[in-house]
Amino acid sequence: MSNKESLNFVEIEVEKDLEAGTYAGRVHTRFPPEPNGYLHIGHAKSICLNFGLAKKYGGKTNLRFDDTNPVTEDTEYVDSIKADIKWLGFEWEGQELYASDYFEQLYEFAVKLIQDGKAYVDDSSAEEIAKMKGTPTQAGLNSPFRERTIEENLRLFEGMKNGEYPDGARVLRAKYDMASPNMLLRDPNLYRIKRAHHHRTGDKWCIYPLYDFAHGQSDAIEKITHSVCTLEFKNHRPLYDWLIESLGIYPTRQIEFARLNLEYTMMSKRKLLQLVNDKHVSGWDDPRMPTISGMRRRGYSAAAIRNFCDRIGIAKRDNVIEYASLEFSVREDLNKVATRVMGVLDPVKLVITNYPKDQVEFVEIENNPEDPESGVRSIPFSGELYIEREDFMEDPPKKFFRLGPERSVRLKSGYIITCTGFDKDPDTDAITEIRCTYYPDSKSGADTSGIKAKGTLHWVSVKEAVPVEIRLYDRLFSDPNPAGHPDQDFREFLNPDSLRYIPTAYVEPALKEAKLGQHFQFIRKGYYCLDQDSSSEKLVFNQTVGLKDSWAKKG
RNA sequence: UGACCCAUGGUGUAAUCGGUAACACAACUGUUUUUGGUGCAGUCAUUCAAGGUUCGAGUCCUUGUGGGUCAACCA
């Protein structure tokens, strides 16, 4: 194979346009969210594509809110969307734009369409219109209002704008073809009467354009060259192109790609909103949500998400991405940037019987072995430590490299120890304390003992240990496709164990200085980050993702 | 029973004028390692089916099969 980088099909189409000089060598894309929910990982794919295209071909990307349905839209969503895009590392061209900025222009476009005999006002009810639509195999029926004069249509449409008719009384429709085999072309609705307070235009308008008469027109107004959207809009394209031609506006090209589907979750904003409203999650930014804000809170980095979007590619076939692919991207990035720290999630006390009583020494630990620039840090070591309960077995199998009676391990950055005994709670059989001796000449970095220890354990000095709360997350749904069962509500597949609390775990003192947005690796356990629920009295850490664990897999 | 789109390993994406299936993830080996992490090396597909065109087909044609989208005054 050549060393030429392979292009996705959208890039191929863009390059064709570039070569043909279709848009005078320009590439201007747009990301057009509706402000009716928070952005999710599927949007991230679209953001990376649209902004990536512009970046690659020296173009620009507009951020345009597709705010034509006032009843579901809100400024809270506008703010979160802007924040999420910035956090992902993208910059849109100039100020953010709004389809609602074009309401006046859109109205004029509609008038022109009517004047050209290409649109009419229909007095039928929504039900009647639906009935006259026909079915996929059966042509629709012309509306009795279809042949109104241009003058009457003009007068009626103006009346709609002026609030002379109640909501739903009339609608503006394209005069296209009620017999079209493409259902979307059977005289689609263009404008509806809806008295609702708009988050930006307030009560100025009582008619609002529908998607088909707002999106493409906004693209044209902004002289967008390539309007990249998901596959479900493919069937709209003939209408998109027809309106451009009819209106004589900028000929933006619509290109459709397959949306992202991720195992064990779903991307429907409507369904995600239900989870929020029903309090199945703590909010749009719950760390279990597939939202950008949820993933950020969970500890996923922007680079990880970008790399993920890069890795999954762009194509036209339906796809379901494995969760492992996302988690790989997260681990890959965090491995490079996360500071290694000591944290014991399920503590059991380890007493080093030959260590000087009450002595505390500071041992050095690398901040990140993957990053030579990251330096070292000192952590307190003493004769009383917490280690992980699962790192000790009373009667371990041969392949268990951790602690057991008579067995030796290295305490990471400290000394090699040999287990000499342990205590058990007679009632519960639980280990209450482990005893060991250490080898003073085995100190990390200055080991002259000659002793070989197969395993290395993480630990925290009891006296200096900081108690923290840990939140462990699992997939939100137990079914790979929770929204894919026509006879069952997606909430039936909610995983009851998706959130687990560890009320008291112990971490090294340096973590008292942890800041929101920092990434840590709790050595041998996983990646963690401080949660916004933390207070000065209680620190809360989220597990971003566990480390790969080939031992747990075998066991 | 309509229109449109799609079909390459367990998953995702490549193969750009038809030239002999590549990359990543997952899985499994082995190796390195003061994280059972990381790194490194290796194993794992004749491209939905059947015909056709061609010296040669994942790529072109035909017919099937399977999947998706469309009948919101949502986007």
pLDDT tens figures, A282-296: 999 999 999 999 999
Query: What DSSP state is assigned to residue A272?
Result: H
pLDDT band at A552 (very low <50, low <70, confident <90, very high): confident
Query: Could you give the 3-state DSSP secondary structure of residue A524?
Result: coil
Distance A310 CA to B14 C1' (A): 13
In the predicted structure, residue A354 carries a pLDDT above the cut 60 = yes
**A410 in active site:** no
Q: Strand B positions with any atom < 7 Å from protein CB? A: 1-8, 10-16, 22, 24-28, 34-39, 67-75
Question: In the predicted model, is pLDDT for residue A3 greater than 50?
Answer: no
Residue A475: active-site member: no
Catalytic residue among A13, A15, A26, A34: A34
> What's the CA A484/C1' B15 distance, rounded, in angstroms?
33
Q: Which residue is nearest to nucleotide B1 (CA to C1')?
A: A137
- The angle formed by the CA atoms of residues A422, A424 and A429, to the nearest 5 degrees, is 140
Secondary structure letter of residue A13 according to DSSP:
H
Phi-psi bin for A163: left (phi > 0), alpha (psi -120 to 50), beta? left
Residue with tokens 């990140």: A368
* Phi and psi, residue A55, nearest 5°: -65, -45
Q: What is the mean pLDDT of residues A1-14?
A: 78
The distance (Å) linking the CA of A6 with the C1' of B15 is 9
Per-residue pLDDT at A445 exceeds 90: yes
Q: What percent of chain A has pLDDT over 70?
A: 99
Q: How confident is the model over A21-33, as a mean pLDDT?
A: 97
A358-370: per-residue pLDDT in tens?
999 999 999 999 9
User: Nearest nt (C1') to A69 (CA)?
Assistant: B74
Q: Report CA dihedral (A63, A67, A72, A77) to the nearest 10 degrees.
A: 30
Number of H helices, E strands in chain A: 13, 25
- The mean predicted confidence, pLDDT, of chain A is 96
Q: Which residue gives the smallest C-alpha to C1' distance to B21? A: A1
Assign A234 a pLDDT band (cuts: 50, 70, 90): very high
Give distance CA A550 / C1' B30 (Å): 15
Q: Which residue is nearest to nucleotide B2 (CA to C1')?
A: A137
**Nearest-CA neighbor of A364 among A442, A439, A444?**
A444
User: In chain A, where does the domain assigned CATH 3.40.50.620 lie?
Assistant: 4-257
Q: Going by C-beta distance under 8 Å and a sequence separation of 6 or more, which residues neighbour residue A20?
A: none
Which nucleotide has the shortest C1'-to-CA distance from A185? B70
Alpha helices in A338-420 (DSSP H): none
Residue A288: half-sphere exposure toward Cβ, Cα within 13 Å: 25
CATH 1.10.1160.10 placement within chain A: 262-339+468-554
Q: Which nucleotide is nearest to A182 (CA to C1')?
A: B3
Q: What is the pLDDT of residue A555?
A: 56
Answer yes or no: CATH 2.60.120.10 is held by domain A4-257.
no
CA distance A210 to A190: 5
**pLDDT given at position A4:** 56
The encoded tokens of residue A264 equal 């064990």
Domain covering A262-339+468-554: architecture: Orthogonal Bundle (1.10)
**What is the distance, to the nearest Å, from the Cα of residue A9 to the centroid of all Cα atoms in its chain?**
24
d(CA A40, CA A77): 12
What is the reported pLDDT for A241? 97
CA distance from start to end of chain A = 42
Res. A2 pLDDT band, cuts 50 70 90:
very low
Q: What is the model's pLDDT at position A525?
A: 98
How distant is C1' of B30 from CA of A182, in Å? 58
Asked if residues A325 and A260 have their Cβ atoms less than 8 Å apart, the reply is no
- What CATH code would you report for A343-458? 2.40.240.10
User: What residue ranges of chain A are covered by domains with CATH 2.40.240.10?
Assistant: 343-458
Q: For residue A1, is pLDDT > 50?
A: no
Region A114-139: what's the mean pLDDT?
A: 97
Out of A200, A259, A271, A475, the active site residue is A259
Tell me the CA–C1' distance in angstroms for A523 and B44: 32
DSSP 8-state symbol, A71: T
**Closest nucleotide to A129: CA versus each C1':** B73
Of all nucleotides, the one whose C1′ comes closest to residue A313's CA is B13
Structure confidence by residue, pLDDT tens digits, A481-518 = 999 998 999 999 999 999 999 999 999 999 999 999 99
DSSP string, A414-468: S-EEEEEEEEE-TTT--EEEEEEEE-GGG-TTS--S----SEEE-EEETTT-EEE
Choose among A334, A211, A271: nearest CA to A476: A271
The H-assigned helical ranges of A100-185 are 103-115, 126-132, 150-161
CA of residue A319 to C1' of nucleotide B58, angstroms: 19
pLDDT digits (tens, 9 = 90+) for A301-329: 999 999 999 999 999 999 999 999 999 99
Per-residue pLDDT tens digits for A58-109:
999 999 999 999 999 999 999 999 999 999 999 999 999 999 999 999 999 9
- CA A240 vs CA A11, A178, A216, A503, A550: distances in Å: 21, 17, 6, 56, 53
Spacing of A323 CA from B30 C1' in Å? 27
Mean pLDDT over A427-432 rounds to 96
Q: What is the pLDDT of residues A182-201, one digit of tens each?
A: 999 999 999 999 999 999 99
Q: Is the pLDDT of residue A553 over 80?
A: no
Active-site annotation holds for A223: no
Active-site residue identified among A269, A297, A410, A471? A269
**Closest nucleotide to A211: CA versus each C1':** B75
Q: Which residues of A211-231 are buried (b: 16+ CB within 10 A; e: fewer)?
A: bbbbbbbbbbbbebbbbbbee
Q: How many Å apart are CA A347 and CA A342, to the nearest integer?
A: 12
Share of chain A above pLDDT 90, in %: 97
